[in-house]
A and B are shown apart, each in its own frame.
Chain A
Amino acid sequence: MKTEDYLAHNFRDLGGIEDIFTSNRRDFLKRVGGGIMIFVAIQDALFAQEGAPVRNRMRPPSDFNAFLRIGEDGRVTCLTGKIEMGQGIITSLPQMLAEELDTPLATVDIKLGDTDECPYDMGTWGSMSTRGFGPALRAAAAEAKGVLLSLAAEKLKVPQEQLVARDGIIFDSKNEKSRVTYGELAKGQKIEKHLETKPAVKDVAEFKISGQPHTRRDGEAKVTGKADYAADIRVPGMLYAKILRPPAHGAKLKSADTAPAKEIAGVQIVQDGDFIAVLHEFPDVAEDALEKIKPEWDKPEATFDDKTVFDHFQKIAPEPRVLKSGGDLDAGKNSAAKKFDATYLNSYVAHSPMETHAALCQIEGDHATVWVSTQNPFAAREKVAGVLGFPVEKVRVITPYVGGGFGGKTDNQQAAEAARLAKAVDKPVQVMWNREEEFFYDTFRPAAVVKINSGVDDAGKMAFWDYDVYFAGERGAQQFYTVPNHRTAARGGGFGAAREVHPFATGSWRAPGNNTNTFARESHIDVMAAGAGVDPVQFRLNNLKDHRMIRVLKAAADKFGWTSAKFPSKRGYGVACGIDAGTYVAGIAEVGVDADTGNVHVKRVVCAQDMGVVINPEGAQIQLEGCVTMGLGYALAEEVHFNGGEILDTNYDSYELPRFSWVPKIESVFITNNETPPQGGGEPAIILMGALVANGIYDATGARLFQLPMTPDRIKAALQKV
């Protein structure tokens, strides 16, 4: 995600935040007690050196946003405002800490997403946790080790250079019996260090803990049902709320008779204009009561739907904003032996995490505690404070385990609703959306159009490339092939666009923009390869100079056992490449197509990834598998049906998620690249899935699909054109 996207999404400039942090920090230090503490401000130069974006338009965090403590018991605690939603930082961040500190992984604790205890964080998204936060955390750990070594030198009366740290113990390399534990060193200390210069961190070659596969640290909690999610929190006297929802975005309430709901024992009703909620000590009774309310609504007229949205986009598209250009397009067109012109479409896609949005708000006097299913607890805190009219420091947001986010849990509407209701009834209130509400309020991945005009010369080299993306956003739009004459432009922004563009909210969806852009680009590269009569792997290699991309593509082809043939070869082989979150990725798929039904079966996906240094190979592999599996959904089936502001999908009867029988054999290659710091792993492979499948279908049948998802009907229609 680009810096501007971060800022556009859920970020407001927070005046006066420094005071909040200063006062909070005093309380914070009082609470944590003694030991050795290291503070890091990620936004400083140290972070920038790692090549990650510096969000200099953002003022917070002005004080510190990573915190590390070595306690008197020798335990190391990392506190961070990031959250765990399945991506595995609950394992990978402690691994990094343990590595850098030379302490056993088992002695490292991590506390996530609690706004009272953890320093500020903007949000968990964009594959930034390992990439952006990791380097700062490692630096903090290295600094802590420096402090420990100097304390040990004093205590053991040995020159610091002579000391060695291992497994949470520092000893004299010349006399191993002379030793002291981290806990002993931390005892009675109150050392506070602010990281200002970047301490030397270990070289990858020295890694013992990082780089080793580790299974999830939250595994046991998750297999026993003990892992609490926001809707699992119970406090005495709490009520469950169900809220009356409009039938379409933009609908206005004309009337509602709440009397029949009131007849149910124990029901409490809150009505404030259009906002009507039914509360009860049991959520199912509240839901039954809500159904007894028969509202009348004024629905705005729908002006477009899921079929006409693409025409709508082209009608309203603003002037193109050129992202990159070079050479001379007209000269390119003249030199091209063959030209290719195509339009690619994709539909709106839902996040649809298995855990719907949930929040519980408890107000005690002038203070509120809110348990929220969120990717950005600090934004949730602000939102709740606004609703309650409390200063932010009087609101504590606790983020329990989050049951999937994928970019969709950033608006915190449900937290605002719980707060509003808790205030109204003076009792703790839990709001948990049902699946229909989840579809209705989801911030969908935007539908989009991509138009590409390109050409190749007689030698099979790309002569020109003219690319316009409408409303998907620019992430992944810039191509990496060597083409002398080119222009890449975006028309309209990505997610979060105004209501005239989309009739409902849109938001970031796992690798926002890049799924659309990579589908279009890599499909079109295949169209060109076919037109030039060149094998699609060879065509790409012929037009690439970027050595990282060449390396991943060759690695994927080797692992797959790619052999050249005249395409379409009927083998069902599809290839695609891309770059996301700093990671290079190339894949090859084998697909089967049933011409009678239009059903596609993806049999095998090989994916090669260069993500720099790999911290947890097990975690990286899991994220890759997740990307491939989740990506099959948007490639083959996922599509939001709507008519204006009315969302026609209300549950999984009409909106399909990938199932067990869809999952291919997934093979991976992780390129050893210790020259590049760790890059994103949670998103890259998903960007390939549209083009991998489309190109595989072409190779199997000769039919070219230009629209996602590639449903059986669309495939049958394409087959008729062959």
Chain B
Amino acid sequence: MPDKISFKLNEKPVELAVDGDRTLLWVLRTDLGLTGTKFGCGEGYCGCCTILLNQRAARSCQLQVKDVAGKEVVTIEGLAKDGKLHPLQKAFMDHDGMQCGYCTPGMIMTGVGLLRLNLQPTEKQIVSGMEKNFCRCGAHVRIIAAIQQAAAELKGA
């Protein structure tokens, strides 16, 4: 039987009649049509499916939809505010922090999660914070530069 599950998604309340054991990633991508969150490995290794759960980066392939009941979920689609990109999105563009772009939503969500915990990360802290996100094209150096730029901008804001 479907369960009724309510949570906040990209600042709007949602209520789903859904089997609570289903994987959050697929509920986001299919039931809710938010395809910006990507499937990469399905086992929590690669970080392509990263979202924010109560402001913290979390892997949606490792969450069941019942895990987010009553909580706040932000996906890549919900990061821009009032048509204005988040400084980290902008920084990814400025630094060409992507090639194929498939890992990008997960990279950005992980980066935003990192900056929420630590607004002035050192390069070492950025590297260790991003270590479990994979990019096959090799955009790593640019991603680090983008996070540094966003950190500087957010600190000044």
Residues of A near any B CB (own CB < 8 A) = 85-88, 215-216, 218-229, 231-232, 234, 240, 281-285, 352-356, 401-404, 406, 432, 434-435, 618, 622, 625-630, 651-653, 657-661, 663, 666
Contacts and interface: CB of A to CB of B under 8 A. Distances in A.
Contacts of A218: 101
Given A355-B38, A653-B43, A86 B131 contact: no
Contacts of B30: 240, 281-283
A283 B29 CA distance: 10
Contact of B100 (A86, A283, A666): A86
Contacts of B40: 354-356, 435
B43 A225 contact: no
Interface of B: 22-23, 25-26, 29-31, 33-43, 45-46, 48, 75-77, 79-80, 85, 89-90, 92-94, 96-105, 108, 126-128, 130-144
Nearest to A401: B101
A284 B61 CA distance: 10
Nearest to B91: A223
Contacts of B98: 86, 216, 219, 222-223
A476 B103 CA distance: 31
A193 B79 CA distance: 47
B130 A622 contact: no
Nearest to A432: B39
Contacts of B46: 354, 652
B19 to A, nearest CB: 8
B22 A86 contact: no
A625 B102 contact: no
A522 to B, nearest CB: 21
Given A404-B136, A432-B39, A354 B130 contact: no
A220 B102 contact: no
Nearest to A618: B96
A651 B45 contact: yes
Contacts of A657: 134, 136
Given A628-B138, A651-B45, 19 more contacts: A86-B98, A215-B94, A223-B85, A223-B90, A223-B97, A225-B75, A354-B103, A354-B136, A355-B100, A402-B100, A434-B42, A622-B99, A626-B99, A626-B137, A659-B131, A660-B128, A660-B133, A660-B143, A663-B140
A281 B135 CA distance: 30
Contacts of A281: 30
Contacts of B89: 223-224
B88 to A, nearest CB: 8
B133 to A, nearest CB: 8
Contacts of A625: 138-142
The winner among B85, B108, B133, B138 for most chain A CB atoms within 10 A is B138
A549 B93 CA distance: 35
Contacts of B144: 660
8 contacts: A222-B101, A223-B85, A403-B38, A404-B100, A434-B42, A626-B137, A630-B136, A660-B144
The winner among B31, B140, B143 for most chain A CB atoms within 10 A is B140
A355 B35 CA distance: 13
Contacts of B31: 282
Given A215-B93, A219-B92, A224-B76, A355 B22 contact: no
A2 B10 CA distance: 50
Contacts of A404: 99-100, 102, 136-137
Contacts of A232: 29, 35
Contacts of A627: 138
